[in-house]
Amino acid sequence: MIKSLLIANRGEIACRIIRTARAMGVRTVAVYSDADAKALHVRQADEAVHIGPSPARESYLVGEKIIAAAKQTGAEAIHPGYGFLSENADFAQAVIDAGIVWVGPNPASIRAMGLKDAAKERMIAAGVPVTPGYLGEDQSPDRLATEAAKVGYPVLIKAVAGGGGKGMRRVDAPEDFADALLSCQREAASSFGNSQVLIEKYILSPRHIEVQVFGDTHGNVVHLFERDCSLQRRHQKVIEEAPAPGMDEITREAICAAAVKAAKAVDYVGAGTIEFIADASDGLRADRIWFMEMNTRLQVEHPVTEEITGQDLVEWQLRVASGEPLPKRQDELAIDGWAMEARLYAENPATGFLPSTGPLDYLWLSQDLRIETGVEEGDAISPFYDPMIAKLVAHAETRDQALSDLAEGCAQVMCEPVKTNAWFLARLLKEPAFAAGDVTTGFIADHAEGLTSAPQPGPALLQAAADQAIFHDDFVIGRVGDPDFDRLRGMLGFRLNAPVNRGIWLAVDGRATQVDYVGEWGRSSYFDDNPGYVQIGQSTTLFENGAAFETRPYRAEGAGAAGAAADGAILSPMPGRIIAVEVTAGETVTKGQKLLTLEAMKMEHSLVAPFDGTVAELGAETGGQVSEGAVLARIERAA
């Protein structure tokens, strides 16, 4: 068995690997960039090595530095986690050539499945059904447009080296193809160093079904059943579950057998996932499920498979990498109950899911769920990496119970000052169609308005805010049961020696709000049901259904602060790089027209005109780095 392990990753997955390694008695080595010097995975590992500046391309993506760190610390093996170099065949080979154990598939298998076009050709040869499309070498825009027309719209443009939802664009009409192709190629080149794409038929009622497979060096390959990952936004998974709702045993047997056949076709070793696209217009049927791609690594959503099978997949990885056979035979694996996972991100769904960075001054997550995280209260969300805070996982006997538990856990999330998608997740989980298992990969986009509209505070929260507006102290954090909280409740019991005016004006997230106070001063029932809040001076943040609301006594002189864009100023929502400027100074624009594109946190973000008008100022240029709040342009309203 491996005795020492370097984790070539960061954040949640690094912490996850460390936990299992420690339980197995394996010494762990972390690597970290400047931004991660005090990160949780660094604190948890037995040893840590600095590998470079904050940008991933100068640290986590530099294989030579990681191999040098392994040699320096005497690590016997390297586990790549997911993302970064996990599916880089050249890095895997370099690790092996350095005499270090690679916890992953053979480089040849990674190469065989790493490019989507080559993988599809191999699957066709192996008898695995694939979606119709174009896999050719001719990447000229005219040829790609011609092939898209042959396939028939809508089509999906996909980076052949893509993953994680990046480098993918749906195109519904020929006139939109050129712009979508350019954007897809640009993102693919930036994320993967390869701008080549393929064209695929877009299934109109698609569900994303994937199968966990595992192989060893003794020729054994098994599956650990399927997962449903249909709830996605921009091809990024949001909620995953296992098993897949509506999957009968005949279809399950067929899709899992196809997955094993695919893995055997590339002599697969270690953890992998075969992803399928299903046409669910007539339910899940074996003859309407096609191979999409293979991920030659551990998946983000692997905990739901662990929950329904009772297996530790990281332990399996370490045992297989040590030369041991698979811990279980196929006939020893079975499904037990139902599991669901939600990805908690530092982002604001009400502002187009813009990432939110900064310190996690206050963070509370339900203790009734399995929590996979790479941060703790007091840490920070960096602008350099994926903004995931945690994965929340529920496991129960039935799907209904797992769904209910996860929805409650998402609604209980409390985080400040970083914004999260917790309220969006809670709202999504309560959608009747999802509860019925009737969803496709387009569900979130189709219901975006109702799912992403900004949450509004309820009556109980407003009553509590009224209490805090009148009785405030200078402590920072309060929780039920803490001495500071009890001290506050004692203070709230006093009455004012003046006539009571029960109409109270508050500023709630910068909006003037009048509250008709109906309770007894300082006795709001809100504090009996909520384990925490944040107060700084007269500003109090209260939490409800996964949302955070900043409240304070209303001051008329501050009323204009909430309308930052009312004057037409286009501000950078976060630090990033301008990759496209679509307008020129003096140009006439219409409301919603794209002005420029900002690349930040590994994603592209379009900034649009807030109203009809003229570009009065333009302070952005392609390639320029900008800071959060920088004025990029100003639109002068049309007369």
> Hey, what are 600's tokens?
């930040």
CB within 8 Å of 165: residues ≥ 6 apart: 232, 234, 235, 236, 237
Q: Report whether 267 contacts 260 (CB < 8 A).
A: no
Looking at 233, 252, 288, 297, which residue is catalytic? 297
- Residue 383 CA to residue 598 CA, distance in Å, equals 13
The alpha carbons of the chain give a radius of gyration, in whole angstroms, of 26
- Cα 286 from Cα 289, distance rounded (Å): 6
CA 26 to mean position of chain CA atoms: 29
Collapsed DSSP state (helix, strand, coil) of residue 308: helix
Q: How many residues does the chain have?
A: 639
Between CA 291 and CA 209 the distance in angstroms is 10
Specify burial of residue 153 (Cβ count, 10 A radius: 0-12, 13-18, 19+).
middle
Lookup: tokens for 612: 């009809």
d(Cα 373, Cα 394) in Å, to the nearest integer? 15
Q: What are phi and psi of 67, to 5 degrees?
A: -65, -40
* Maximal CA-CA distance, the chain: 85
Rounded Cα distance, 372 and 473, in Å: 35
SS3 376: coil
Q: CB under 8 Å to 614, separation ≥6 — which residues?
A: 586, 587, 588, 589, 635, 636, 638
Residue 452: CA count within 13 A, CB half-sphere: 16
Q: End-to-end distance of the chain based on CA atoms, in angstroms?
A: 74
The CA distance from 236 to 339, in Å, is 19
β-partners of residue 552 are 507
For residue 439, the number of C-alpha atoms closer than 13 Å in the C-beta half-sphere is: 31
In 10 A of CB 554, how many CB atoms?
18
Alpha-carbon gap, residue 440 to 334, rounded angstroms: 26
Q: Is the peptide bond before 107 cis (omega within 30 degrees of 0)?
A: no
Q: Work out the number of other CB atoms within 10 angstroms of the CB of residue 496.
A: 10
CA dist 274 and 286 (Å) reads: 15
Exposure string of 160-199, with b = 16+ CB inside 10 Å and e = fewer, is bbbbbebbbbbbeeeeebeebbebbbbbbebbbebbbbbb
**Neighbour order of strands in the sheet with 270-279:** 289-295, 270-279, 206-215, 221-233, 236-242, 338-345, 388-396, 370-373
- Is residue 479 part of the annotated active site? The answer reads no
Q: Residues with catalytic annotation?
A: 297
